Amino acid sequence: MTIQEPSKNANSILLSTNPNPSNHNLREGESEAYFAFQDYVSTASKKGGRVKSQTNSNTIDALAKLLGTYPSVEPVAVKFVAELWDMSTYEIRQSVAKASEILDKTQQYADALGSLAPKFEADFNIEDLLPPAVASIIQDSCDRSGTDWKSSVFLLLATTGTLLGSKIMGHSGVNGSDPIPPNLYVFCCGDTSSFKSVTSNKFITPLRQLRRMMNTLRKSALEEAKRLDDPAQQKAEVRRLQDNLKDYISESLSFSAEGFARELSKQKARSGFHLHQDEGSDLLACNRYGNNGNSGAGVQSMGLFIKMLVEAYTKELTNTFTRANSDNNIEFRAQSVTLTANLQLRFITEILDFAEDSMGWTSRTLVVESKAKEGSFGLNTTDPGDASIDPIQEYISTRLIPWCLDIDRMAATQTDVLGNVIDYQVLHLDRYDGAQTLYNDSVRDRMEMASDMEAESKEAGLRSFLRKTGVRVIKFAVLLHVLETLVGKRFTSAKDGQGNQIRTPCSDAVHAVTSIPISKETVQRALNLEALACSQYQHIADICRAAPSIREAELVREATLKRLDYVLRKIREHTPIKESVLKTKLKGVKGFSREDITSAVVQLERQGCITRLKPKGERTYYLTYVRDLRQ
């Protein structure tokens, strides 16, 4: 419906039409709002004696807003505008309904935009995140492979957490809180061929080599155990070896939740176990086995695998799986789990919930974009004569692994008040150099930010992520502290009976790590890492939010190409062909209308795929095939 302009006697109507709000039982606030609306219309109507069409629209919008806030004003306000414009109240109400619908949708967009949290800034150099010696190794490796360093930083920390297990844990200093193991869950995200595997292999390869070495040693120990004379002693020794595995890493393509739990429980007490998926798009496939992902009646539940990871994030695993047959029971012995996976962007939302995170699973993960170093396209090459291994692999194999294995040999020398053996060490923040104060103030700021966001209904998923800041910073601080104590340490090298090269630190790793508290400088680096983690969380969440529309646009584009190709193939089959004949053949086929066919023909001519000529004396065009769509 077109809104008409006011009649020529608009000013007189404004003077004479002034319904008394008191006759319509309007309250004081409603009356004030109505008179303000009248003043607005009066001012607009006196511009040259006529109200422009834009002003008409603005008046209806103003009326819709007024009625949205004060519905009881509707009779008097609608009557006022109807008499002003010499229209029926029905027509005015129809216009207001359309305007209200538009305003509601506009408000929905405004509310959605208003729900976004401010962008986290994390413009750090790698030296702001890691000890300088370690940072230079990461940088050299990334320069060599032409990849971005951000994912390498988090993967190095995750690998360190695997090697430490729960032998070294951190404490936040908060009364009543428990020590936190340094394990991490890291997802490297990117499109196909974004160098996810190139980056992750630098860290996974040394763990594979460590597993092979430990398997060789275990096989040798099993052979010696089988040579024991006493059958009972032989059986006990074999059982001991099989229940204290040192696999460190699992790369199972497919696994059930209970199968993984059993494999984890067989690892040595307090050891770390690293689950890596080079293609992690089907990481949660284990939820499809049995009833792990469904609680019945169609209600989606957390699932055993995710439940295990959620619990393992803030404490070492000490749970049990009780079965009717006690031989099938599973009992953990303070092991910890590290998870890394390479995820293609289109599968991320099937694994992580950035919108709500109702299960608390997404807030426990770190997501980071994996990509080529800017300008390199991942095409950096090395001189074939340079046979040296990647700097990261060399660092992990020759320094980090021997250092952490020395910590793993920590002897249990104390017991707690209940008589339990203490076979781990807890690191604390330095209270004298300001580390504890810096941690407390920074975490308190994040908690206040999360509370403010909740009050403003902003990003529930990010709020959940921010509330885990305290836990992540302690994990980062412990891992950085271990890396810092390793700087400058010397090692001796010798071969064992199996021919493996064994490197041993010249100094006591446990004493070096535990003799000093975590410094303020280390906590500041941990806070920088936390800022980077928040920034990457927002970045990946924004990419995933845009992904469906990008995919939809690609699908629409592909569907359009298919229609163009179909028209072109028909022209090629009957070339030359009259355009009128082509329209007769195609009209109604695959939803084509005559207008669709004309548009396709015009575009094919512009692309040089056909010629479209009208011979002299003819009333229609002749179409001739020239080439395919792709040049």
The average pLDDT across 411-426 equals 74
In whole angstroms, give the CA distance from residue 519 to residue 530. 17
Number of Cβ within a 10 Å radius of residue 111? 10
The average pLDDT across 93-108 equals 76
Q: 8 pLDDT band (50/70/90 cuts)?
A: very low
Residue 500 has what pLDDT? 73
Buried residues in 65-76 as b, exposed as e (16+ CB within 10 A): bbbeebeebbeb
Strand partners, 461: none
N-terminal to C-terminal alpha carbon distance within the chain:
49
3 state SS of 246: coil
Name the most confidently modeled range: 82-91, 270-279, 536-545: 270-279
Task: Judge contact between 187 and 150, C-beta under 8 A.
Answer: no
Q: 84 pLDDT band (50/70/90 cuts)?
A: confident
Q: How far is CA 7 from CA 11, 83, 418, 525, in A?
A: 9, 9, 92, 72
pLDDT at 175 over 90: no
The average pLDDT across 431-449 equals 95
pLDDT at 9 over 50: no
Considering only 273-282, 351-360, 491-500, which range has the smallest mean pLDDT?
491-500
In whole angstroms, give the CA distance from residue 622 to residue 52. 50
In whole angstroms, give the CA distance from residue 162 to residue 271. 8
Task: Judge contact between 333 and 326, C-beta under 8 A.
Answer: no
The average pLDDT across 159-169 equals 95
Q: How far is CA 626 from CA 183, 241, 246, 568, 576, in A?
A: 63, 74, 67, 10, 10
Q: Is residue 591 left, alpha or beta, with left meaning phi > 0 and alpha meaning psi from -120 to 50?
A: left
Strand partners, 188: 342, 368
Give the pLDDT confidence of 508-549 residue by residue, as tens digits: 888 899 999 999 999 999 999 999 999 999 999 988 887 666
pLDDT at 290 over 80: no
Residue 6 has what pLDDT? 46
3 state SS of 467: coil
The alpha-helical segments, DSSP class H, found in 150-195 are 150-164
* Average confidence score pLDDT of the chain: 84
The alpha-helical segments, DSSP class H, found in 17-131 are 28-45, 53-69, 74-85, 89-114
Nearest C-alpha neighbor of 600 from the set 591, 620, 549:
591
pLDDT at 14 over 80: no
Give the pLDDT confidence of 180-231 residue by residue, as tens digits: 999 999 999 988 888 899 999 999 999 999 999 999 989 999 999 888 888 8
In whole angstroms, give the CA distance from residue 128 to residue 135. 9
Crossing angle of helices 594-606 and 579-586, rounded to 10°: 130
Q: Is residue 49 left, alpha or beta, with left meaning phi > 0 and alpha meaning psi from -120 to 50?
A: left
Residue 480 has what pLDDT? 97
Pick the residue with more confidence: 57 or 465? 465
- Angle (CA) 514-470-182 rounded to 5° is 45
Considering only 102-106, 422-426, 488-492, 539-543, which range has the smallest mean pLDDT?
102-106
- Angle (CA) 332-336-341 rounded to 5° is 125
In whole angstroms, give the CA distance from residue 94 to residue 81. 13
In whole angstroms, give the CA distance from residue 478 to residue 472. 10
Strands 366-369 and 185-190, how do they pair? parallel
Pick the residue with more confidence: 376 or 163? 163
Nearest C-alpha neighbor of 183 from the set 169, 201, 204:
169
Residue 288 has what pLDDT? 64
Per CATH, is 551-625 categorized as 3.40.50.300? no
3 state SS of 170: strand
Q: 78 pLDDT band (50/70/90 cuts)?
A: confident
The average pLDDT across 32-49 equals 72
Q: With the C-alpha atoms ordered 391, 392, 393, 398, is the resulting torsion angle positive or negative?
A: positive
Buried residues in 312-325 as b, exposed as e (16+ CB within 10 A): bbbbbbeeebeeee
Pick the residue with more confidence: 556 or 359? 359
**399 DSSP assignment:** I
Residue 39 has what pLDDT? 79
Task: Judge contact between 365 and 185, C-beta under 8 A.
Answer: yes
The average pLDDT across 228-238 equals 89
3 state SS of 372: strand
In whole angstroms, give the CA distance from residue 317 to residue 332. 6
Residue 299 has what pLDDT? 37
3 state SS of 415: strand
Nearest C-alpha neighbor of 178 from the set 186, 166, 194:
166
The CA radius of gyration of the chain, in Å to the nearest whole number, is 35
3 state SS of 190: strand
Residue 109 has what pLDDT? 66
Query: What ranges do the domains of the chain cover?
Result: 10-114, 127-169+183-292+300-377+389-550, 551-625
Give the pLDDT confidence of 481-505 residue by residue, as tens digits: 999 999 989 988 887 776 777 888 8
3 state SS of 493: strand
Considering only 122-131, 144-153, 250-259, 396-405, which range has the smallest mean pLDDT?
250-259
Task: Judge contact between 549 and 134, C-beta under 8 A.
Answer: no
Q: Percentage of residues in the chain with pLDDT exceeding 90?
A: 41
The average pLDDT across 564-578 equals 90
pLDDT at 337 over 50: yes
Residue 533 has what pLDDT? 96
Q: 7 pLDDT band (50/70/90 cuts)?
A: very low
pLDDT at 22 over 80: no
Q: Is residue 52 left, alpha or beta, with left meaning phi > 0 and alpha meaning psi from -120 to 50?
A: beta
In whole angstroms, give the CA distance from residue 504 to residue 399. 9
In whole angstroms, give the CA distance from residue 140 to residue 373. 12
In whole angstroms, give the CA distance from residue 266 to residue 602. 69
Name the most confidently modeled range: 117-121, 236-240, 386-390: 236-240
How many residues are there in the chain?
631
pLDDT at 51 over 60: no
Residue 41 has what pLDDT? 78
